[in-house]
Amino acid sequence: MFELFLERAQEVLGVPAALITHCPYLPEYIKDALITSVNFIPWLYFLYYAIELIERFFLKRIGLFIKLLKRFGPLFGVVISNIPECGYSVITSVFYSRKMITRGTLLAFLITCSDDALPLLFMDLSKAVYILPIVILKVIVALIVAGVVDLLFAFNTKIEDTNAINIDLNIPGCCHHKISTDFYPPHWWMHPFTHTFNMFMFTFLSLAFFNCVIQGFGGAEKLASFIMIDSPYQVVAGAVLGLVPNCVTSVFLALAFVKGLISFPTLLAGLITTTGLGLMTLVKHKPHSGDNHFITFILLVAGIGAGLFVFYNMEIVSNIMKYIGG
């Protein structure tokens, strides 16, 4: 029965690909990008729907969320921030601007946040095996940075006991939806749908761009060599690119890795500095604060440092994968 269901599901999911393949007006690189993006839509929707339920659970219990933050700090941050959603980086940026959490806790959230990158690695199962090494390494980096920052700057850390009820979550998250659950609470399907559509568009446009450039260069290997995939300079460039405050940044990095255009250390460096809308939210609430520059500097140093360390010690990734594989 289950095999029959899978068979029928594959037939249904194969319809768009069949129609796109036989379309005579589209270039091959557009067809490939469109088929890959369309096939990923159902899985993305189910993923974002599940994430929406988790996010709303905590936002309806914002007091519990704050208690966990204050009690476990960075430890709670590295766990919850691994969920591929930029909402938590936005919330914690608001909390930090109101002096409810330490600088180290904020950095733990921002470093561990990978936005929407990790699910996209499932487009190529040979790349999907790197998801756990990315998560593990980012957690280690986040905890080290958070611990060092809170230890060295404890004298400058002032935590205020702000009442959770007074927290204004009427702020835009990804897809410009409101973080607060007070807005249209019954329509849980709408934000996952919007998020899935946006991700489809980001993915399609990015893949079309990569396919076009790869075709122009005569192959992915030639393009990868041109953008110095085997050089530490690419790692630095990846970390700098990750600082661009937009959800598209993580998509771009993930798909570049899937296409074999950037190295694993470059992806890691970029995803460490990627914060979704976190940094933008921080700047919005503290527009002229030197603290924003300091946090950005720490993110950049952490991204470049971790990326270069892994670049020169790739056996670490191999050992993690061997240990995971048993």
Instruction: Give 215-234 pLDDT, tens digit per residue.
Output: 889 889 999 999 999 999 99
> What digits encode the pLDDT tens for the residues 146-205?
999 988 876 555 555 555 445 555 555 555 555 554 444 445 567 778 878 888 888 999
Work out how many domains the chain is built from and give that number: 1
Tokens of 63: 């007091």
Residue 156: closest CA among 107, 103, 111: 103
Task: Give pLDDT, residue 296.
Answer: 92
Measuring CA to CA, how many Å separate 186 from each of 53, 62, 128, 182, 268? 12, 18, 34, 10, 37
Greatest pairwise CA separation for the chain in angstroms: 67
Chain-centroid distance, C-alpha 225: 26
Strand partners, 172: 178
Residue 24 lies in a domain: no
Beta bridge mates, 178:
172
Position 10 in a domain = no
Give the single-character DSSP code of 131: H
Cα distance between residue 154 and residue 52, in whole Å: 35
Helix and strand tally (H, E) in the chain?
A: 17, 0
- Let me know: does 238 contact 253? Beta carbons within 8 Å: yes
Residue 239 resides in a domain: yes
**Region for residue 102 given its phi and psi (left: phi exceeds 0; alpha: psi -120 to 50; beta: otherwise):** beta
In this structure, is residue 109 part of a structural domain? yes
Over the stretch 37-75, which tens digit does the pLDDT of each residue have?
888 888 888 888 887 777 777 667 666 777 777 777 788
Please check whether residue 59 is in contact with residue 65, taking contact to mean a CB–CB distance below 8 angstroms.
yes
Residue type for position 85: E
**Domain membership flag for residue 6:** no
Count CB atoms within 10 A of the CB of residue 142: 28
Residue-number span of the structural domain to which 130 is assigned: 30-324
Whether 106 is in a domain gets the answer yes
Give which of 227, 322, 226, 286 is closest to 93, Cα–Cα: 286
**Residue-level pLDDT at 233:** 96
pLDDT, mean of residues 256-268: 95
Position of tokens 């958070």?
A: 146
Determine the Cα–Cα distance for residues 240 and 324; give it in Å rounded to an integer: 30
The pTM of the full predicted model, rounded to 2 decimals, is 0.84
Per-residue pLDDT band for 9 (boundaries 50, 70, 90) equals low
For residues 287-316, give the mean pLDDT: 90
How sure is the predictor about 26, in pLDDT bands with cuts at 50, 70 and 90?
A: confident
pLDDT in tens, 88-136: 777 788 888 878 888 998 999 899 988 788 888 988 888 988 999 999 9
Does residue 2 fall inside a structural domain? no
Whether 12 maps to a domain, the answer reads no
Place of tokens 């180290």: 104
Output the DSSP codes for 62-75. Answer: HHHHHHHHHHHTHH
What is residue 145's predicted lDDT score, i.e. its pLDDT?
95
